[in-house]
Amino acid sequence: MDLRYSESEEAFRAELRRWLAEVVPTLGPKPPNTDWPARRAYDTTWQRMLYDAGYAGIDWPVEGGGRGASPVEQLIYLEELERAHAPYVGVNFVGLLHAGPTVIVEGTPEQRARFLPPILRGDEVWCQGFSEPGAGSDLASLRTRAVRDGDEYVVTGQKIWTSHAEVADFCELLVRTGPEDSRHHGITWLILPMDRPGIDFRPLRTIARSTEFGELFLDGVRVPVANRVGEENDGWRVTMTTLSFERGTAFVSEALQSMELLRGLRQVARHNGAWSDPELRRRAGHLGAELDALWALARRNVSQAARTGVPGVGGSVYKLALSELRQRLAELGMDVAGPAGLSWDDIEEFAVPGGVTNPEIVHSWVHSFSRTIAAGTSQIQRNIIAERILGLPKG
Ligand SMILES: Cc1cc2nc3c(=O)[nH]c(=O)nc-3n(C[C@H](O)[C@H](O)[C@H](O)COP(=O)(O)OP(=O)(O)OC[C@H]3O[C@@H](n4cnc5c(N)ncnc54)[C@H](O)[C@@H]3O)c2cc1C
């Protein structure tokens, strides 16, 4: 194994670094967390800039319209974006990181031609309509029904926790096409255009003061059969592809973001005296070591996905470790912040060059609670690891 970067990889890094140094300072300030239309505009503008510069869909195969970068280049790309404090993927999360990749693997040539380029250009935003009030961890019990009527499905039911639906153009939607008790065998994966009559979206406000998700009510919504990905009643298999992207590679950049957050917290702690506490230093050291291990795991997942086309079940190990680590990191942040952690407003005296701000620490903390729930709870990841990786008997 040669762990050095090749000349062409170094050239890729240098060119990307140059481009980022040029464009990132030209971006305006990030919109407030609570203003979703502004966040859509910000995130899709950034996506368009990546597209124009040839960096959109870095991990997508060339046939899918992406750059088809090698695993090493993908990791360099993520490292450089984080180093430059470039914008996060944001509202493009579902489209770029799991719906688009699912269409690449499972879609027809027509679907790939119709749906992939607008995701890459930042023209169209996607959301995910999997969970229902009675179907979260036990997703196979979902009840939203689709009945075929000529060349359309008529969809009726309710989804919940649908992230970014407020600003989405399409939704990757799971529906029941088989009998009520058909579980995994009666599910179909559809592409729902969000502008159809019969759709009612009601936002839900989180403790982070944001309406990042909500309830999606569907009443006789007509979806073309041409928008079905995979065969009717074969949607569970397609769903496994979606979830393996969501858990395996979608959160890879978060390991780097966590390292950046830890670095910023150290800066603040050294400045405000929190660093004199040996216990706090010990926790920071542990988190740093865990993050190094997590980044190694992320690199493994990226290489595996590049080799096989779809990330493996090992993504559950990464997802579990990352979510729980983010919660401990957020708690460390609140201990570093001290009384400043009680305020959402910027406290001027708290600011340290290279450090994180107190609202960033508070946001990271309130948001951390959802991490062990979103994209499959920690208990579910543990079940998957036990049964599918360790081969233990079903509980
Ligand atoms: C921030 C956020 C964003 C989200 N975005 C989306 C989205 O865009 N689209 C979407 O479709 N969904 C989304 N979700 C929903 C998410 O996928 C579900 O919340 C999650 O799968 C858990 O389902 P549930 O909330 O129904 O909890 P339940 O499934 O009811 O679980 C309740 C508790 O029981 C435990 N439990 C359940 N079954 C088992 C079992 N077999 N073994 C051990 N323990 C078990 C769970 O771990 C949990 O602690 C989002 C959630 C969050 C928090």
CA of 138 to the centre of ligand 1 (A): 8
| Nearest protein Cα to ligand 1, atom 3 | 374
How far is residue 373 CA from its own chain's centroid? 13
Q: For the segment 184-235, what is each residue's pLDDT rounded down to a tens digit?
A: 999 999 999 999 999 999 999 999 889 999 999 999 999 999 999 999 999 9
Establish whether residue 338 lines the binding site of ligand 1, counting it when its CB lies within 6 angstroms of any ligand atom.
no
> At 183, is the secondary structure helix, strand, or coil?
helix
| Lookup: tokens for 152 | 């359309």
Q: Quote the CA–CA distance of 140 and 233 in Å, as a whole number.
A: 12
> At 197, is the secondary structure helix, strand, or coil?
coil
Q: Which residue has the tokens 């305020």?
A: 343
Q: Quote the CA–CA distance of 380 and 117 in Å, as a whole number.
A: 34
What's the pTM value of the predicted model, to 2 decimals? 0.96
pLDDT band at 256 (very low <50, low <70, confident <90, very high): very high
Establish whether residue 128 lines the binding site of ligand 1, counting it when its CB lies within 6 angstroms of any ligand atom.
yes
Cβ(214)–Cβ(204) under 8 Å?
yes
Residue type at 264 in one-letter notation: G
pLDDT band at 2 (very low <50, low <70, confident <90, very high): low
Q: Quote the CA–CA distance of 338 and 341 in Å, as a whole number.
A: 6
State residue 3's pLDDT score: 63
Among 158, 155, 250, 231, smallest CA distance to 193 is for 155
| Lookup: tokens for 329 | 């990191």
Among 203, 173, 197, smallest CA distance to 34 is for 203
* Alpha-carbon dihedral 319, 100, 208, 40, rounded to 10 degrees: 150
Buried b (16+ CB within 10 A) or exposed e, 145-160: bbeeeeebbbbbbbbb
Residue range 277-285: mean pLDDT, rounded: 98
Q: Quote the CA–CA distance of 210 and 212 in Å, as a whole number.
A: 5
Mutational pocket test of ligand 1: of 161, 171, 384, the residue with most ligand atoms within 8 Å of the beta carbon: 161
Q: For the segment 107-159, what is each residue's pLDDT rounded down to a tens digit?
A: 999 999 999 999 999 999 999 999 999 999 999 999 999 999 999 999 999 99
Tell me how crowded residue 242 is: count the other CB atoms within 10 A of its CB: 26
Q: Quote the CA–CA distance of 354 and 69 in Å, as a whole number.
A: 31
Residue range 344-354: mean pLDDT, rounded: 94
Establish whether residue 137 lines the binding site of ligand 1, counting it when its CB lies within 6 angstroms of any ligand atom.
yes
| Lookup: tokens for 123 | 């023209």
pLDDT at 30 over 60: yes
CA of 136 to the centre of ligand 1 (A): 5
Nearest ligand 1 atom to the CA of 375 is 17
Backbone angles phi, psi at 219, to 5 degrees: -125, 95
Residue range 316-333: mean pLDDT, rounded: 97
Angle, helices 71-83/7-23, rounded to nearest 10 degrees:
30
Residue range 365-369: mean pLDDT, rounded: 97
Write down the catalytic residue from 246, 349, 360, 387.
246
Among 335, 340, 338, 333, smallest CA distance to 367 is for 333
Establish whether residue 280 lines the binding site of ligand 1, counting it when its CB lies within 6 angstroms of any ligand atom.
no
Q: Which residue has the tokens 């595996």?
A: 304
Residue range 65-87: mean pLDDT, rounded: 94
Mutational pocket test of ligand 1: of 98, 377, 378, the residue with most ligand atoms within 8 Å of the beta carbon: 377
Among 147, 291, 143, 290, smallest CA distance to 222 is for 147
Q: For the segment 40-65, what is each residue's pLDDT rounded down to a tens digit?
A: 999 999 999 999 999 999 999 998 89
Q: Which residue has the tokens 């088989």?
A: 178
Establish whether residue 272 lines the binding site of ligand 1, counting it when its CB lies within 6 angstroms of any ligand atom.
no
Establish whether residue 126 lines the binding site of ligand 1, counting it when its CB lies within 6 angstroms of any ligand atom.
no
Establish whether residue 162 lines the binding site of ligand 1, counting it when its CB lies within 6 angstroms of any ligand atom.
yes
